[in-house]
């Protein structure tokens, strides 16, 4: 019998060494079995990452759309004194206060221009790119991190919420950071890593209540790793102590947060069914639509219906995945994402309007990372890999363009254009009737000088002979539609309709 | 030792027959608890008369779905009864005749098979090359290794006739059979002979492992199909005492063989029918799941098609035999399940036809529903069924295996027609070396199906690009992707034959 060449013995020994590391759940980085292809060099990776951040920031700065209702409410709250802002949040909102606090500080520092108020989201949204790269690098390799970072740079949904004065991008950023720091803790349970993890989880927890779902999944991962290590007679003491400490800090935060949340829920439950709610029921269609949106952004309903009609392709994907095998990292990541979806569906069963992609924005980068891993792990040829990754990025860019520019996008509200048109025509005695009443916050932002009142309130004699404008939106809501219809009908009867125009999701009537 | 030490059949076995974690039996039973309500949920909804769209299409869909349900339930039942039999060493020294039937295979393939057979431990081994090809090179090979060489004057009954003839020339109480390309591990008999201490056991079957999967798409996909059968299914059949003989890597008791008059010679799958005969006579069978011999899978599409045609025709023609057999119900059901599997190509044809009919302006099987409602009922059942295949296969059953099987749907259809028409088939030995040219002819029916699906998709998009059309085009795209994956090996430029490969390999010590 021939003996094996020495190189082979060495290779076998190296493979064994790798396997021994892999036995440790989330062992040291860079131990994934490879095909002998070298990873992207550190220098190249940093250069490319820098380019991606610039591209990502540039795309996030191309903001063609104006402020919409929820943003205007946040801006209104942040303009109040700190005490009044917390009081308003406590009594009339449904979110934790971290983003509002950041916005409050930003307005004090930079004013309330559209760019300034969107700055916190812009920063968080841009930072998602390097954090996702780092998570990809820690879990797999630099190549996967770069592909994921590229997807994040052009992701329509991540860009959309980087341009919105709301807390969703904070949730995605801190959520990713929480996952990254957890991974580092699992590999090296140092004080610094634990501190970073605790801060990151605090960030996600105080940004969005659904952050608690992510933290819940993370606790399950901790318990799983501890049990796994114990079963393999590996040391668990340091990790267990850190885990206990972080859990104690978490509970300490949860007490005030839950008090805050419960009060908010009771205060606002009467007004449940936000006008922005997309679906009155949770269905496979809403799941498919949200999945399509999470990748290609908000699309017109007709496009969403067509995208959802492609569901048989999921059958193909499920078959393709059969027998592929996956690293422990991928399995855990996919399981965490699925667990999050399951928890969200569970939560949405209580309030079905909650099942919206913005409420689980953290899933978007996770899905992008899984897609990046599919590309880097399955495709062997570098050219084909680049082609496929480029093709995916291109579809995301097409989705981005459609999302931002197509006026049929159901989330695109033309309040700014409508109010500017009203402003151009309105005199000092003009009145703007608003439906829904919360539109006053948008008017307050763009035209604080205009007098306004809710559509439901009777127009007093004081405005006899003065121009009256009706500014209505959210007309897919039956209650708002009926109210608008009734009042516009009455005004048409008693006054002269000068003109009627519309901007995306917004209707304006001008009466004399 | 063979003159070809770097043969792929000496490589380390990459398949783990029995998962080292939770038993498949336990996992599958948990999934069955989930799967049965899902199946009831889906079929309870589907069979509601309100679902009828175009009546004829609905009837066809229901037939296909019920057939698949029957196969799925049969699969679940089988794998839930898994028995993992350990190796069992012989308790006494016995003599074993080792038969290597050959028919015009290349001598360099048979060489290592004979060499390995000579090296079998655990019994007094008498190796015989049963040459049905009148090949003098084979006689020389046998002489070189000092083993028996049996050539018969008349070559009737193909492999079955060859073995039956050899039975009359030999007399050991046990007979091991290896196909000409199957290299036995030295401990094959040490692992199987012990089970023959039970006087009721007629044969001990072991897996038919393919060693040439690393660089050959067809062999790899073909092995992935085999791995599911020789993994969870065969272990499940063993648990139900229903293992059937697979013709190679098997140890027989001569007494059992002789009690049924040897292999039946009027079947294309003589091993399948022999097993029915033996079980009818009250004999039992056993399955040792360890890989104890390594062979070569079909290396090109034509070889795969030839093998599948033989199996399909043999098993389909064995169905009436299984129905008539005086067997316990569970054995009869197991034989029927195995035989009926070869009708599944019809369901592929049916599912492919629906989007074509719809896109060309025809009806659809289910009417008056929207996709979310359908998905709500279908997805749980589909997810459990797919998970069951993944769990039972322990990751060895791949998309490529599924696609290869689906792309050769027409084999089942043709075989059914031939079987119904009682058209005679001939035993064709699966070629052991891959072709050196592309083989579009071997996948022509699948390519025609691809053409029809693409044409229907284009027609639909041009005429009425609404959501329903997109949905049906997506279905067509799914079928096209599956078919093209299955056809790809026949359309790409062939690589070097794995059996010819002289690459450096880890050698079994």
| CB-CB under 8 Å, A306 with B470 | yes
Q: Is the pLDDT of residue A494 over 90?
A: no
| CB-CB under 8 Å, B371 with A1 | no
State pTM to two decimals.
Answer: 0.83
pLDDT one-digit tens code per residue, B431-460: 666 667 788 888 999 999 999 999 999 999
| CB-CB under 8 Å, A322 with B224 | no
In which order are the strands placed within the sheet that holds B250-253? B148-151, B124-131, B95-102, B174-177, B250-253, B201-205, B284-287
Q: Give chain A positions within 8 Å (CB) of B11.
A: none
Q: How confident is the model at residue B18 (pLDDT cuts 50, 70, 90)?
A: confident
**Catalytic site residues of B?**
132, 271
Q: CB-CB: which of B370, B398, B504 is closest to A5?
A: B504
Tell me the nearest-neighbour CA distance from B507 into chain A, angstroms. Answer: 8
Q: CB-CB: which of B5, B390, B474 is closest to A313?
A: B474
Chain A and chain B share a number of CB contacts under 8 A equal to 83
Q: What is the CA angle A244-A249-A252, rounded to 5? A: 125
Q: Is the pLDDT of residue B100 over 90?
A: yes
Of A3-12, B151-160, B315-324, the range with the highest mean pLDDT is B315-324
Q: Is the pLDDT of residue B351 over 70?
A: yes
| CB-CB under 8 Å, B481 with A316 | yes
Q: Give chain B positions within 8 Å (CB) of A232.
A: none
For strand B284-287 and strand B201-205, is the pairing parallel, antiparallel, or unpaired? Answer: parallel
Q: Collect all residues with Cβ–Cβ distance below 8 Å to A140 and sequence separation of at least 6.
A: A32, A327, A329, A373, A376, A377
Q: CB-CB: which of B372, B393, B506 is closest to A284?
A: B372
Q: Is the pLDDT of residue B2 over 80?
A: no
Q: CB-CB: which of B6, B399, B470 is closest to A323?
A: B399
| CB-CB under 8 Å, B467 with A309 | yes
**Is the minimum CB–CB distance between A310 and chain B shorter than 8 Å?**
yes
**Is the minimum CB–CB distance between A323 and chain B shorter than 8 Å?**
yes
For residue B315, count CB atoms less than 10 angstroms from its CB and return exposed for 0-12, middle for 13-18, buried for 19 or more. Answer: buried
Mean pLDDT taken over chain A: 87
Pick the closest to residue A391 from A408, A371, A377, A407 (CA basis).
Answer: A371
> How far apart, in whole angstroms, are the C-alpha atoms of residue B252 and residue B255?
9
Q: Give chain B positions within 8 Å (CB) of A320.
A: 399
Tell me the nearest-neighbour CA distance from B348 into chain A, angstroms. Answer: 14
Least confident of A132-146, A384-398, B371-385, B424-438: B424-438
Q: CB-CB: which of A310, A318, A323 is closest to B224?
A: A323
Least confident of A405-414, B17-26, B468-477: B17-26
Q: Is the pLDDT of residue A115 over 70?
A: yes
Q: Give chain B positions within 8 Å (CB) of A322.
A: 386, 389-390, 397-399, 402
Q: What is the pLDDT of residue B433?
A: 65
**Is the minimum CB–CB distance between B468 and chain A shorter than 8 Å?**
yes
Interface test with A, best of B12, B474, B483 (most A CBs within 10 A): B474
Residue of chain B nearest A288, judged by CA positions: B372
Residue B146 Ramachandran class (φ > 0 left, ψ -120 to 50 alpha, else beta) = left
Residue of chain B nearest A317, judged by CA positions: B478
Q: Give chain A positions within 8 Å (CB) of B468.
A: 309
Q: Is the pLDDT of residue B64 over 80?
A: yes
More confident residue, A112 or A2: A112
| CB-CB under 8 Å, A322 with B397 | yes
Q: How confident is the model at residue A225 (pLDDT cuts 50, 70, 90)?
A: very high
Q: How confident is the model at residue B507 (pLDDT cuts 50, 70, 90)?
A: very low
**Is the minimum CB–CB distance between B398 and chain A shorter than 8 Å?**
yes
Structural domain boundaries of chain B?
29-80+342-491, 95-297
pLDDT one-digit tens code per residue, A271-329: 544 444 444 556 778 888 888 899 999 999 888 888 889 999 999 999 998 877 778 88
In which order are the strands placed within the sheet that holds A468-473? A451-454, A431-435, A468-473, A506-511, A497-503
| CB-CB under 8 Å, A325 with B395 | yes
**Is the minimum CB–CB distance between A5 and chain B shorter than 8 Å?**
yes
Q: How confident is the model at residue A23 (pLDDT cuts 50, 70, 90)?
A: very low
| CB-CB under 8 Å, A12 with B506 | yes
Residue B328 CA, distance from chain mean position: 24
Cβ(B292)–Cβ(B184) below 8 Å: yes
Residue of chain A nearest B5, judged by CA positions: A1
Q: Give chain B positions within 8 Å (CB) of A323.
A: 224, 390, 393, 395-399, 401
Tell me the nearest-neighbour CA distance from B127 into chain A, angstroms. Answer: 23
Q: What is the pLDDT of residue B10?
A: 86
More confident residue, A325 or B40: B40
Least confident of A187-201, A456-470, B102-116, B354-368: A456-470
**Is the minimum CB–CB distance between B375 and chain A shorter than 8 Å?**
yes
Q: Give chain A positions within 8 Å (CB) of B399.
A: 319-324
> How far apart, in whole angstroms, are the C-alpha atoms of residue B439 and residue B497?
15
Cβ(A496)–Cβ(A511) below 8 Å: yes
Q: Give chain B positions within 8 Å (CB) of A305.
A: 467
Q: What is the pLDDT of residue A282?
A: 66
More confident residue, A85 or B441: A85
pLDDT one-digit tens code per residue, B146-192: 999 999 888 888 888 999 999 999 999 999 999 999 999 999 999 99
**Is the minimum CB–CB distance between B505 and chain A shorter than 8 Å?**
no
Q: CB-CB: which of B375, B396, B504 is closest to A284?
A: B375
Q: What percent of chain B has pLDDT over 70?
A: 94
Cβ(B409)–Cβ(B446) below 8 Å: yes
Q: Is the pLDDT of residue B362 over 50?
A: yes
pLDDT one-digit tens code per residue, B366-391: 987 778 888 889 999 999 999 998 88
Q: Which of residues 170-229 of B touch A (CB under 8 A)?
A: 224
The DSSP code sequence of B325-373 is S---HHHHHHHHHHHHGGGHHHHHHHHHHHHHHHHTT---SB-S--HHH
Q: Please give the CATH superfamily to which domain B95-297 belongs.
A: Spore Coat Polysaccharide Biosynthesis Protein SpsA; Chain A (3.90.550.10)
Q: Give chain A positions within 8 Å (CB) of B398.
A: 322-324
pLDDT one-digit tens code per residue, B305-319: 989 998 899 899 889
DSSP classification of residue B11: B
pLDDT one-digit tens code per residue, B220-265: 999 999 999 999 999 999 999 999 999 899 999 999 989 998 888 8
ipTM for this prediction? 0.88
Q: What is the pLDDT of residue B227?
A: 92
Q: What is the pLDDT of residue B95?
A: 95
Q: Is the pLDDT of residue B329 over 50?
A: yes
A441: how many CB neighbours lie within 10 A of its CB?
A: 19
Tell me the nearest-neighbour CA distance from A175 into chain B, angstroms. Answer: 29
Q: What is the pLDDT of residue B497?
A: 55
Q: What percent of chain B has pLDDT over 90?
A: 67
Pick the closest to residue B433 from B499, B352, B336, B380 (CA basis).
Answer: B499
In the three-class reduction of DSSP (H, G, I as helix; E, B as strand; rest coil), residue B181 is classed as: coil
Tell me the nearest-neighbour CA distance from A324 into chain B, angstroms. Answer: 7
| CB-CB under 8 Å, B1 with A1 | yes
Q: What is the pLDDT of residue A24?
A: 43
Q: Give chain A positions within 8 Å (CB) of B1.
A: 1
CA distances from A271 to A2, A91, A218, A258, A302 (A): 81, 12, 33, 20, 30
pLDDT one-digit tens code per residue, A248-284: 999 999 999 999 999 988 887 755 444 444 445 567 7
């Amino acid at each position: 019998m021939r003996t094996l060449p020495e190189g082979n013995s060495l290779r076998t020994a190296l493979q064994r060494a790798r396997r021994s590391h892999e036995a440790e759940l989330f062992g040291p980085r860079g131990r994934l079995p490879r095909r002998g292809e070298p990873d992207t060099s550190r220098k190249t990776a940093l250069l490319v990452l820098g380019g991606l951040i610039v591209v990502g920031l540039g795309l996030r700065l191309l903001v063609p759309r104006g402020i919409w209702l929820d943003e205007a409410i946040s801006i209104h709250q942040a303009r109040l004194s700190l005490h009044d802002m917390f009081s308003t949040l406590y009594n009339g909102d449904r979110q934790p206060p971290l983003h509002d606090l950041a916005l409050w500080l930003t307005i004090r520092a930079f004013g309330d221009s559209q760019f300034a108020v969107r700055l916190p989201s812009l920063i968080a949204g841009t930072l998602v790119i390097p954090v996702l790269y780092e998570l990809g690098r820690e879990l797999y390799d630099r190549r996967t991190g770069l592909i994921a970072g590229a997807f994040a740079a052009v992701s329509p949904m991540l860009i959309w919420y980087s341009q919105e004065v709301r807390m969703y991008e904070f949730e995605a950023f801190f959520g990713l950071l929480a996952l990254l720091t957890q991974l580092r803790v699992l590999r090296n349970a140092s004080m610094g890593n634990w501190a970073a993890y605790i801060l990151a989880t605090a960030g996600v927890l105080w940004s969005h209540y659904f952050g608690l779902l992510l933290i819940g999944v993370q606790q399950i991962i901790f318990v799983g790793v501890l049990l796994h290590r114990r079963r393999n007679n590996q040391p668990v003491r340091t990790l267990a102590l850190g885990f206990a400490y972080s859990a104690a800090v978490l509970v300490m935060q949860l007490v005030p947060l839950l008090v805050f949340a419960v009060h908010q829920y009771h205060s606002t439950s009467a007004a449940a069914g936000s006008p922005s709610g997309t679906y009155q029921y949770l269905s496979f269609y809403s799941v498919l639509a949200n999945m399509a949106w999470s990748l290609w952004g908000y699309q017109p309903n007709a496009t969403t219906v067509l995208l959802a009609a492609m569901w048989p392709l999921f059958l193909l994907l499920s078959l393709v995945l059969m027998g592929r095998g996956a690293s422990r990292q991928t399995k855990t990541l996919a399981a965490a994402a699925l667990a999050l979806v399951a928890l969200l569906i569970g939560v949405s069963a209580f309030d079905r309007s909650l099942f919206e992609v913005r409420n689980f924005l953290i899933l978007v980068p996770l899905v992008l990372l899984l897609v990046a891993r599919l590309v880097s792990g399955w495709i062997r040829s570098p050219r084909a890999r680049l082609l496929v990754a480029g093709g995916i990025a291109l579809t995301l860019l097409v989705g981005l363009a459609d999302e931002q520019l197509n006026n049929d996008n159901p989330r695109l509200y033309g309040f700014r254009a409508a109010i500017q048109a009203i402003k151009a025509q309105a005199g000092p005695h003009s009145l703007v009737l608003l439906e829904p009443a919360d539109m006053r916050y948008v008017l307050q932002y763009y035209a604080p000088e205009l007098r306004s009142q809710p559509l439901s309130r009777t127009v007093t004699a004081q405005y006899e002979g003065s121009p009256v404008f009706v500014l209505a939106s959210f007309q897919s809501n039956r209650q708002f539609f009926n109210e608008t219809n009734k009042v516009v009908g009455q005004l048409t009867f008693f006054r002269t309709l000068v003109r009627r125009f519309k901007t995306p999701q917004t209707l304006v009537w001008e009466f004399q | 030792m063979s003159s070809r030490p770097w043969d792929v059949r000496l490589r380390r076995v990459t398949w783990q027959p029995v998962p080292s974690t939770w038993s498949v039996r336990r996992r599958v039973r948990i999934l069955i608890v989930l799967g049965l309500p899902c199946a009831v949920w889906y079929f309870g909804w589907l069979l509601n008369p309100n679902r009828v769209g175009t009546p004829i299409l609905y009837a066809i869909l229901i037939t296909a779905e019920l057939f698949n349900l029957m196969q799925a339930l049969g699969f679940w039942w089988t794998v839930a009864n898994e028995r993992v039999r350990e190796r069992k060493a012989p308790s006494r020294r016995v003599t074993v005749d080792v038969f290597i039937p050959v028919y015009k295979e290349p001598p360099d393939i048979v060489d290592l098979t004979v060499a390995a057979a000579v090296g079998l431990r655990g019994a007094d081994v008498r190796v015989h090359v049963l040459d049905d090809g009148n090949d003098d090179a084979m006689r020389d090979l046998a002489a070189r290794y000092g083993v028996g060489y049996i050539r018969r004057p008349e070559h009737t009954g193909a492999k079955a006739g060859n073995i039956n003839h050899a039975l009359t020339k030999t007399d050991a109480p046990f007979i091991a059979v290896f196909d000409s390309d199957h290299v036995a591990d030295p401990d094959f008999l040490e692992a199987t002979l012990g089970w023959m201490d039970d006087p009721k056991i007629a044969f001990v079957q072991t897996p038919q492992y393919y060693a040439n999967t690393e660089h050959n798409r067809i062999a790899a996909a073909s092995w992935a199909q085999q791995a599911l059968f020789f993994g969870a299914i065969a272990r499940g059949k063993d648990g139900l005492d229903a293992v059937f003989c697979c013709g190679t890597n098997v140890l027989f008791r001569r007494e059992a063989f002789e009690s049924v008059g040897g292999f039946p010679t009027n079947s294309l799958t003589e091993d399948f029918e022999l097993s029915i005969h033996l079980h009818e006579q009250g004999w039992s069978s056993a399955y040792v799941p360890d890989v104890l011999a390594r062979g070569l899978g079909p290396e090109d599409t034509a070889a795969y098609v030839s093998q599948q045609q033989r199996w399909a025709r043999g098993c389909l023609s064995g169905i009436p035999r299984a129905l008539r057999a005086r067997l316990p119900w569970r054995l009869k059901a197991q034989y029927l399940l195995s035989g009926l599997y070869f009708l599944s190509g019809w369901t592929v044809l049916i599912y492919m036809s629906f989007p074509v009919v719809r896109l060309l302006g025809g009806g659809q099987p289910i009417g008056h529903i929207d996709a979310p409602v359908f998905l709500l009922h279908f997805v749980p059942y589909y997810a459990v069924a797919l998970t069951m295949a993944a769990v039972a296969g322990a990751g060895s059953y791949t998309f490529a295996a599924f696609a290869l099987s689906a792309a050769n749907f027409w084999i089942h259809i043709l075989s059914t027609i031939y079987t119904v028409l009682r058209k005679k088939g001939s035993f064709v030995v699966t070629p052991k070396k891959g072709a050196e040219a592309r083989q579009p002819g071997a996948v022509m029916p699948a390519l025609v199906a691809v053409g029809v699906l693409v044409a229907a998709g284009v027609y639909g998009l041009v005429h009425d690009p609404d959501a329903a059309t997109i949905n049906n085009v997506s279905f067509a795209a799914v079928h096209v992707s599956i078919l093209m994956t299955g056809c790809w090996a026949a359309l790409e430029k062939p690589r070097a034959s794995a059996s010819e490969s002289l690459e450096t390999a880890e050698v079994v010590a």
